[in-house]
Chains A and B, each alone.
Chain A
């Protein structure tokens, strides 16, 4: 079975540009999570969805960040405009149901110059 799929795997962009990260959760999973990992702050939850509905976005750092889940098999995390401090690895994870194990994708390594 395919795991969580993320694209792109690597992204290099210039400050001020829009960045869109994509995630396809495991088929049948109804919870989706976006995390950010940096050396300084470790792994942090940004936002999570249940049944395509955003439940908690308190971890989203600024209005420059937005996330959508238009259907059960696709989600995006957008940064507009991007800044060098947004450089990090962004992970998407999905789970089958409430309080079930989260399975992580391979991550997108973002570098903003």
Chain B
């Protein structure tokens, strides 16, 4: 969707390295959702952000929403092979729970 731009489209990092994925909306967000998808499987919910400046962490993954509520980043510290997959951001720009998704970032972790 052009409403939501995700970058990079693909990312290859060495195991143990840190990485960041970005998600930018052309509209103010009511909510921003991060999901992870493995090939042939459904989306696994990671985190939801709703407030400007909000930051959440789960294990080695941290997600932030900027103060203007138009940009979010997902940061992985000390990446592991288990982090490999496709990361998708989903944005609620209407408050009606209609999510628009980015094109996804394919993450590969090299041992």
Contacts and interface: CB of A to CB of B under 8 A. Distances in A.
A107 B86 CA distance: 15
Report the 8 A-B pairs with minimum CB-CB distance, sorted nearest first. A43-B101, A104-B43, A104-B42, A106-B42, A42-B103, A107-B42, A101-B48, A105-B42
A42 B101 contact: yes
Given A103-B45, A105-B42, A31 B102 contact: no
Contacts of B41: 106-107
Interface string A39-71: 000111100100000011000000000000000
Interface residues of B, number: 26
B42 A91 contact: yes
* Residue from the set A43, A98, A102, A109 with the largest chain B CB neighbour count within 10 Å: A43
**A42, A106, A107 interface centre (most CB from chain B within 10 Å):** A42
A56 B41 CA distance: 26
B21 interface: no
B96 A56 contact: yes
Contacts of B40: 109
B102 A42 contact: yes
A98 B94 CA distance: 12
Contact of A99 (B43, B90, B95, B103): B95
Given A45-B100, A102-B99, A105-B42, 5 more contacts: A4-B42, A45-B98, A45-B99, A99-B97, A102-B33
A51 B33 CA distance: 23
Interface in A74-100: 91, 93, 95, 98-100
Given A48-B98, A56-B96, A99 B45 contact: no
B43 A48 contact: no
